[in-house]
Structure 1
Amino acid sequence: MVTYAQLWQADPGAWRAAGAAWSRLADAVGQRAAALGAVAGRVTDGWQGAAGSAAGDHVRRLRAPLDAARSAFVETDQVLSGLAAALVRARGMLAAAVSSAGPAHVEIDRSGRTAPDVTVTGIDRAAALRAADRVGAGIADALHAASAADRAAATHLDRLAAAAAAGWPTTPPRFRPPLGARPDAVRRWWAGLSETERRWLVVHQPAYVGRLHGVPVAARDQANRSLLAGQRAALVRERAEAVRTAMPRHGAVSASHRLVGLMSGIDAVDARLRAETGERAYLLSLVAEDDGRVVLAVGDPDRADNVLTYVPGMTASLGAVRDDLSRVEAVAARAAALDPSQRTAAVLWLDYDAPSFLDEAMFTAKAQAAGPALHDFAEGLRATHEGPPAQQTVLGHSYGSLTVGTTVRTTGLAADDLVFVGSPGVGVDHATDLGRPATDIWSSTAPNDPIAYLAPGWREPLTRFRDPFDTGPYEHLWFGRNPTDPSFGAQVFDGDAHGHSGYWRTDNDALTDIARIALGPEHQSEVS
């Protein structure tokens, strides 16, 4: 059992730094593994015949233990970073309990025992005794949380050490469900595999594991991280080839620009994955094709009490991912500040082809195409979550709100609450048309967000906006009734005057309200 003094003295940052050190080691091992793969290719290319093939196969076999070690090191980072996050929460719980002691006339000794202040007498003393019990219970909850996290981390590390001592996995599972299989069926299949079989899949088929809904977040993160360097290297080679073979042509310049954008996006994702402070990030998907797609979580959704999934809108792409990453970071940080006792994960879900230009954003096709993928992702989060179900919130911004609304109507969406911010309409005229209580639907649009003055229908030019000080926002927008209009029926919260992209600014009350919604019913009553 972690003691009162030990928890006060605990340094979560040291555990986070230890995890980051294992992550750096994983990167170094990954580089060595990639170098061996390149050597194997050169051996095969330059040495023909049976002997050359055998030599190439031998070099490739040397890579397998390095790939397995890299995965184990990433897993170690996950465990230690998870312990750090748990200690941050436990210390927050402890601080909250201790801070309530003074006003309640409760004293706390060095071991964490509580008692009424000696100066309190009579009826006030009876109240102080009850307060002492409450403060003591809060301290006990914090110590239990820290102790449970400590035991879980130790058990996981022991299991990982035993797996390494037993040798690297060499046996594949006999059956693998196809991509697109039902997440709950995938979860049952994964749970039925041996630990050795799971590790084999992560090491030898990372592209498959990383995209399979129903596989736990930790395994998907291990798999996708192992692919990142290779994806960037492939883009570098593709750009060099495009420049070499077709530089005079405009198409080559355009292709080169796109590839540079994708590389920039991968660099931004990689930088967040390497961050050594704050909540650890988990990479659930990255596709470096077309405009690029990425799914990244701040905090582990499988172990969180609350999960907010953010769906961005027009112009969202891998190359422009930095702003979207900062938004999920802001929500996770604000939720942690509001309630440190709860674990809140925030997910950037950019696994669809968002509109790049206005002529694409005028239509619902992009939103409709995204529906099945968003549905499967949300179902996957439900299937892999550990313990009691998490509070699941899905937030759509701008065109992303249409994507969320369309998904709810066409395929269904596993979410307890829906949030629409800066919305051009969500495809329906009333909150109840989304098939759920209006109390579960929230909306906000800043008074100076031009999206609220976007003329509806084809008879009004897309570029026509009204003076915000004229008669207020339109009741009907491009894709249906304005979800902040009283007649829509949603719960409306304030969006300060920071324009179309300012909802996540730290000085915007909308950010606090979004975090309160994500934290669930206990905090939703405080939404302004």
Structure 2
Amino acid sequence: MIGYAQLWSADPAAWRAAGATWRGVAGLTDRRVAEVTGTAAELRAGWAGPAGQAADRRLHGLASELVGSRPVFIEVEQILTEYAARISTAKAMLDATVRDAASRGVRVDRRGVASADPAAQPDRRDPTATRQPGGPEPAAVPEIAAGIAAALELATTADREAARRLADLAAGAGAGWATAPPAGPPPPGSDPAVVRRWWAGLTPAQRRWLVAHEPALVGRLDGVPVGDRDQANRLLLERQRGTLLAERSALLSGRITPAVAVELARIERTLAGFDVLGDRLVADTGPRAYLLGLDPAGDGRAVVALGDPDQAENVLTYVPGMTTDLPTIAGELGRAELMAARCADLAPTERTAVVLWLDYDAPDFLDQALHPRQAHDAGPALHSFQEGLRATHEGPPARQTVLGHSYGSLVVGTTARDHGIAADQVVFIGSPGVGVDRAADLHLPPDRVWAGTAGDDVIRHAAGPVELLGRLAVSGVLPGVGAMIAWGRPAEDLWFGADPSGADFGARVFGAGTDGHTGYWNAGNPALDSIARITLDGRAR
């Protein structure tokens, strides 16, 4: 067991720093692979015969070994960073328990033993004395003792698990960290439960081989555990960055036509998005980031989890709306950070993961946002992703919440309506309609459907086509005051169905302040607090 004094003196920041060092080794390995590969090419050009062929095979084998080792270094970083997070949680539990003890008249000694505080006891020599107001309650001592034991148990479990995983990695070094698996992985789009069974049937060395040599496959397969997808997508990020840089150099070396200029601008914007992702992936503050999806094509897509969804008790998946893409991902990551931080403030002893799900082609312009096509196209991917979270989660099922903002709320509603959504509850904020007129049509209990819209959110006036025509007619018939009459009240039916915040929809409505369409995450807005509380225990502020 981890002792009371050990937990108090534990330094999670030191373990995170150690993890960062191992992450640096992974980058160093990439450079060594490039050097070995370059040397092999030079030798091959000028060295023939059996000796040259033997040297080429040896260098090729060395490069392959180095490639196969890189996921190991990322895995070590994962283990150490996750361990630091769990120790932080255990320390928070211990701190909260000890502070609670002081307020309840319970003393905790240096060994962590709880007992009634003599200073809070009545004077037993006085037969008329009663328990003083600050004295301990009858159940206080055993409750404090149980809280201390729970914190130490959490720390001990984390310590044993990290030690076991590190020992397994060390043991695998002798036999080879990576071994080619049997052919026939499940194709993209496979049932996540099938993928999970396939992955579980592989040896650790086979999984690492796939992560190292097939990162594009592993990184996008729902049903592969979060840690393995993160390893694959981190490798993929660096490879795709290299590809984009090479494409940019090739384009710059030729004639710059209008089409080439457009493509160069797209590459620059994508690289800027890669930089934002890269910075967050190596950040030493906040919850560890897991890269669960990456696609630089078009406007770019990414799925980023703050905290490990496979280990968390609460998981919030956030689907953003119009104009969101990879180059502008910084703002959406900031919103995810705010939600994660608020959950941590309200429940410091619970593990909560917040996932930014940008794995669909969000509308770029208003004319695109007037159509449900992109939300419809996103449905299968969001459905599969949520099923994958269920399939790979370890321990008791997590409380799963899916949040959609603006056009993202239509994505969530359309997915729930057409495919079903693996979530305990859904939340809509700033919604233009969710594709149904009643909460019951989302195939979830209506009391698990939440909605909030700011009083000054312009989306409240996004009238449906019929109502829109009527309002335009009133505006034209009555010059001057017509616009005030037509547009002075919220629409009864929004562009994509009934207002989910309306009384007739049947959702549970929470206050969302008056900060406009994008201010739901502003400090002081009750929406942020409500989102966190719904994520944690299914109750709004």
The normalised TM-score by structure 2 is 0.91
Q: Pick which of 124-133 and 285-294 moved more.
A: 124-133
| 1:457 and 2:465 aligned | yes
Provide the C-alpha distance between the structure 2 equivalents of 1:60 and 1:316, rounded to a whole number of angstroms. 42
Instruction: Provide the residue aligned with 2:366 in structure 1.
Output: 358
**1:20-419 alignment runs, 5 A limit:** 20-37=20-37, 58-118=58-118, 119-121=120-122, 124=131, 128-247=137-256, 249-419=257-427
Superposed CA offset, 1:220-272 (max 9, x none)? 1111111211101211222233344341x322222211111110001100110
Given that residues 423 and 451 in structure 1 are in contact (C-alpha distance below 8 angstroms), is that contact kept between their aligned partners in structure 2? Answer: yes
Gap change, CA 1:439 and 1:425, over 3 Å in 2: same
- Greater shift, 197-206 or 500-509, is seen at 500-509
Which of 169-178 and 156-165 deviates more?
Answer: 169-178
Alpha carbons of structure 1 residues 403 and 6: separation in structure 2 relative to 1, 3 Å: same
How far apart, in 1, do the equivalents of 2:406 and 2:157 lie? Answer: 41
CA change 1:399–1:36 in 2 (3 A) is farther
Deviates more, 1:391-400 or 1:222-231: 222-231
**Paired amino acid for 1:120:** Q
Larger deviation, residues 252-261 vs 151-160 = 252-261
Aligned residues: 522
Residue from 484, 490, 494 that aligns with 2:501: 484
Cα deviation 1:360-416 (Å, max 9, x = unaligned): 111000001011111111011000000000010111111000000000011111000
Residue 503 of structure 1 pairs with residue 520 of structure 2: yes
State the distance in 1 between where 2:432 and 2:56 align: 57
Percent identity between the two aligned chains: 49
SS in 2 for 1:419: strand
470-479 or 252-261, which deviates more: 470-479
Q: Per-residue displacement from partner, 1:32-89 (whole Å, max 9, x unpaired)?
A: 2244445556777x67999898876654332112122221110000000001100111
What is the CA distance between 1:211 and its match in structure 2? 1.1
Bigger Cα displacement from structure 2, 162-171 vs 384-393: 162-171
Contact 1:26-1:70 at 8 Å conserved across structures: yes
1:475 aligned partner:
492
Residues 460 and 189 of structure 1: is their aligned pair in 2 closer, same or farther, counting only changes over 3 Å? same
Cα distance between partner residues in 1 of 2:87 and 2:155 = 6
Please tell me whether the aligned partners of residues 454 and 462 of structure 1 are also in contact (alpha carbons under 8 angstroms): no
CA distance in 1, matches of 2:273, 2:469: 34
User: What is the one-letter code of the residue matched to 2:23?
Assistant: S
Amino acid of the residue matched to residue 21 of structure 2? Answer: A
Contact 1:114 1:136 in 2 (8 A): yes
The AA in structure 2 aligned to 1:493 is F
Matches of 1:435 and 1:412, distance apart in 2: 7
How far, CA to CA, are the matches of 1:54 and 1:358 in structure 2?
62
Q: Is the 8 A contact 2:181 2:202 kept in 1?
A: no
Partner SS state of residue 129, structure 1? coil
8 Å CA contact 1:395–1:401 kept in 2: the answer is yes
Shift of 1:483: 0.9
Alpha-carbon distance in 1 for matches of 2:533, 2:338: 13
Cα pair distance change 1:463/1:65, threshold 3 Å: farther
Q: 1:462 and 1:250, CA in 2 relative to 1: closer, same or farther beyond 3 A?
A: farther
Q: Within 2, Cα distance between the matches of 1:244 and 1:53?
A: 36
CA 1:9 to 1:411, structure 2 compared with 1: closer, same or farther past 3 Å? same
CA offset digits 1:101-129 (Å, max 9, x no partner): 22211111111111222132376489623
SS at match of 2:404: strand
Looking at structure 1, the residues matched to 407 and 536 of structure 2 have their Cα atoms a distance apart, in angstroms, of 24
CA RMSD of aligned residues (A): 2.5
In structure 2, what residue type is equivalent to 1:198? R
**Gaps spanning 5+ residues in structure 1: where?**
none
**Unpaired segments ≥5 residues, structure 2:** 123-128, 476-482
Measured in 1, the distance between the counterparts of 2:94 and 2:83 equals 16
Counterpart secondary structure, 2:139: helix
Equivalent residues of 2:436, 2:497 under 8 A apart: yes
Q: 1:447·1:468 contact (CA, 8 Å) conserved in 2?
A: no
Task: Give the counterpart letter for 1:380 in structure 2.
Answer: G
Question: Do the aligned partners of residues 508 and 39 (structure 1) sit closer, same or farther apart at CA in structure 2, a change above 3 Å counting?
Answer: farther
Matched, 1:430 2:438: yes
Identify which of 439, 448, 455 aligns with 1:447. Answer: 455
Report the Cα offset of residue 440 of structure 1. Answer: 0.5
Q: Distance in 1 between matches of 2:34 and 2:417?
A: 45
Distance 2:8 2:449 in 1: 40
Per mean C-alpha deviation after superposition, the further-off stretch among 321-330 and 126-135 is: 126-135
Residues 165-186 of structure 1: CA distance to partner in whole angstroms, max 9, x if unpaired? 3223233224422121111011
Contact 2:467 2:493 in 1 (8 A): no
Distance 2:48 2:37 in 1: 19
Q: Which amino acid aligns with 1:81?
A: T
